[in-house]
Structure 1
Amino acid sequence: MTGQPYAYPFVWPSPFEQPKEFSGLHDEPVVEVILPSGDEALLITRYEDIRAVLTDPRVSKNRNRPDIARMTIKKVKAFQSQVDMDPPAHPRMRGLIARAFTPARVENLRPRIRELTGGLLDAMAAGPQPADFAEAFAFPLSIQVICELLGVPADEREQFTQRTAPPWDYMAELIERKRANPGDDLISALIQVHDEKDGRLSSQELHWWSTMLLLAGYETSANQLCSAVVMLTSHPDQMAKLREDPALLPGAVEELLRCQVVGTSLSMLRYVTDDIEVGGVTIPRGSSVITALEVANHDPAAFRCPERFDITRSDDPPQLTFSAGRHFCVGASLARAELQIALGSVLDRFPNLRLGVPVDQLVRTEDAFTQGFTEVPVTW
């Protein structure tokens, strides 16, 4: 490790150009970075090293440790730091969650996603141009989909439309209502897991997971949808290929996830509980490390011409945007379904979709985690 520490997260020079730090960053397996809090951490940069670190039992996600680096100067919300994310607690929780969050449940939701998508596109098409894709489509769709899955009543979803976190007391009250009157939804299924005698979720775990699934399920998906539209409209040749051959859609979604232009790996902060070796570098016990997924997704040792956006890319390894190992995103199947259906429908409905402003006029939110766009004006 040499030179001055990098400031992390990196700054995107434009809405779709890679940060300049990506160039040559993979020459060093571990680099020092300064986080928004001012604390120092070590950034893991290479694809294979990151996969190894994500499965290493000596690397902990427990952020309750007093000597772990702070991600930002803002205090982390209580519900984000009170649940143990290490074994044996985390595998137990994840196994119980998986019993409720099944691929079959996501597949059964596909027709409803199409229905919600169609309604939002109808409203967008009937409205003025340019329309803000984020406000008119991406966020409303993601909110409605995750609320459908979790079982949030339709007349109570409005409180989530302003991109704000749900109040903790709301989720607690909703859980109690679902316990009294269960339905065919994820929160009801989690309550059943909680109330069973064999390895039940604690009340704290039940509230935490329900809240985090809601947060992660709408904000990340909405920002990814906006990212996808920015990337496709900025690469009209790729958008034309996708229109001509809808069968390319699943692979296109994976490439859009690899080339994501929103989101950072700041939340991937980990703590090393014993000395580990990464790429020939010894990382001492007590270090704070970040597995930089967006950097791994541009590793030239893993991806051919990683700087090129290519929806027909094949034979390269899987993108790491959903992480890997024991913390692989539990909602990955839902995110993929939502992106595939939404993007296919948008391109079909609006053959002349384009940005309503020059791409360099798009503005990002002041958020070190999401780096989403404040708005994405589009015309058609």
Structure 2
Amino acid sequence: MSANPIPYPFSRPGPLAVPKELGTIRQAPVQRVILPSGDEAYLVTRYDDVKSVLTDPRVSRNLNRPDAPRVSKNNMMFQDSKMDPDPPEHTRVRRLVMKAFTATRVERLRPRVQEITDELVEAMAAKSPPVNVSEELAFPLSIRVICDLLGVPPEEQGRFRRWTDHFLSTGKYTREEIRGALGELNAYMSTLIEEKRERPADDLVSALIQVHDEDDTRLSEYELHWWCRLLLLVGYETTASQLGLTVAKLLAEPGQVQALRADESLLPGAVEELLRWKLMSGSLSMLRYVTEDIEVGGVTIPKGSGVIPAVESANWDGKVFHRPDDLDIARADNPHLTFSVGPHFCVGAALARVELETALGTLLRRFATLRLAIPPEELRRTEGTLIESLVEIPITW
């Protein structure tokens, strides 16, 4: 472990490249890092160790402590003193949320995802290329799907882009700007929940309200609001950013596009491989707090420290992934950790996979000569936000 902490997240040598540190950082199991807030944390680098930390009961997600490190100086992000993100309380609440967010409900959305995708892709086809696939497909698809799932009226969907942008800021907005935007969101969610309580429908907010009102263990009113807000904010931004980066990275690899066109059965594997590359960001959102001394790879991480299980490093571990620096859509064994593992496995993973497979497959079928309109190295990444994407992704055909 280096004596001096290094800045984290790592910078990228190119818009679609992984940080150069991923080639060497696993030489040490733990690395001290400095976060955007200026606080320090320990970065866990190896696949097996990352999995272990993600499931270790001594590693807490509760950052509502005076000595806990912060991601950002201006934004508390996922910190909320009224919510306990650790078992057993988190297990109780998550189990209740999953009653509403079932695989059956997600699978029922597949035809709707295809319908929205077809509509957006045909609108793209009617325009003169190049078009920005991020604004024409990735973001509108993701926000329409999550709003359909939650029961948000279509005319309200445009407002969530700004609220999400503020919620995920690590340096883009001031503290006052973030508080103002989140105040607007909280007021909106309160109104939406009351409307759904009076006129329930076949949507996730109505289902969560039912869990709140009828289940023996119940969601509290605050928990109900918190989860509705979180699912809306995170449920669309992550998928939209991943979809845009997926399209860009795949089109930058013509050989992989050709292989996928020749055999569309490779599509699910292609999605998993592009998820493994974790082009959106590092693992700042995985920041944890150590409640007791723990040993990782022979290194003691002391009680009271911040620790980050570096999923992007785990996904690049050559002991688990053969030739990890190759994009291989036919990779047979791909146990990537992009959706995490254990008690905090992403509740929206199934929906994200449906959207990514549907959008990518539809694009390739609709445009036989689909390609980037500019060289990949000229793409630009967003800055100052927890979830990185590309500023613009111009495509042509």
Same fold, judged at TM 0.5 (above): yes
Write the letter of the residue equivalent to 1:187: V
Task: Tell me: CA distance 1:79–1:123, structure 2 relative to 1, closer, same or farther (3 Å).
Answer: farther
What is the DSSP-based 3-state SS (H/G/I as helix, E as strand, rest coil) of the residue aligned with 1:344? helix
**Secondary structure of the residue that 2:109 maps to in structure 1?**
helix
Instruction: Indicate whether 1:49 and 2:63 are aligned.
Output: no
1:374 lines up with 2:391 in the alignment: yes
What is the correspondence of 1:1-380 to structure 2 with a 5 Å cutoff? 1-76=1-76, 82-162=82-162, 164=165, 167-316=185-334, 318-380=335-397
Offset at residue 368 of structure 1 (A): 4.2
Question: Structure 2: how far apart are the matches of 1:58 and 1:155?
Answer: 45
Task: Measure, in 1, the Cα distance between the counterparts of 2:78 and 2:247.
Answer: 34
Q: For residues 265 and 80 of structure 1, what CA distance do their matches in structure 2 show?
A: 20
Shift of 1:291: 0.7
TM-superposed CA distance for 1:75, in Å, is 2.5
Distance, in Å, in 2 between the alignment partners of 1:124 and 1:315 is 35
1:346 deviates by 0.8
Contact 2:62–2:79 (CA<8 Å) still a contact in 1? no
Relative to the length of structure 1, the TM-score reads 0.97
Shift of residue 161 of structure 1?
4.4
Instruction: Specify the code of the residue in structure 1 equivalent to 2:23.
Output: S
* 8 Å contact kept, 1:248–1:311: yes
2:70 touches 2:76 (CA, 8 Å); kept in 1? Answer: no
CA-to-aligned-CA distance 1:198-237 (integer Å, 9 cap, x gap): 1110111111101110111110000000111111111110
2: CA distance between counterparts of 1:379 and 1:3? 48
Paired positions, count: 379
Equivalent pair of 1:140/1:161 in contact (CA under 8 Å): no
**Cα separation, partners in 2 of 1:251 and 1:78, compared to 1, 3 Å:** closer
Q: Tell me the TM-score normalized by structure 2.
A: 0.93
> Aligned partners of 1:287 and 1:253: how far apart in 2?
35
Give the unaligned 5+ runs of structure 1.
Answer: none
Percent identity reads 55
Q: CA separation in 1, counterparts of 2:333 and 2:116? A: 34
The alpha-carbon deviation at position 144 of structure 1 amounts to: 0.2
How large is the RMSD of aligned CA atoms in angstroms?
1.4
CA distance in 2: counterparts of 1:81 and 1:234, whole angstroms: 44
- State the 4+ residue runs in structure 1 displaced beyond 6 angstroms: none
* Alpha-carbon distance, 1:297 to partner: 0.4
Whole-angstrom CA distance in 2 between matches of 1:78 and 1:276: 24
Rounded Cα–Cα distance in structure 2 between residues aligned with 1:264 and 1:81: 25
Question: Is the 8 Å Cα contact of residues 13 and 19 (structure 1) preserved in structure 2?
Answer: yes
The 3 A distance-change label for structure 1 pair 267 and 186 is same
Counterparts of 2:64 and 2:346 in 1: how far apart (Å)?
A: 21
Q: Give the counterpart letter for 1:213 in structure 2.
A: L
Contact 2:120–2:137 under 8 Å retained in 1: yes
**C-alpha contact (below 8 Å) 2:61/2:289 kept by paired residues:** yes
Contact 1:64 / 1:82 at 8 angstroms: preserved in 2? no
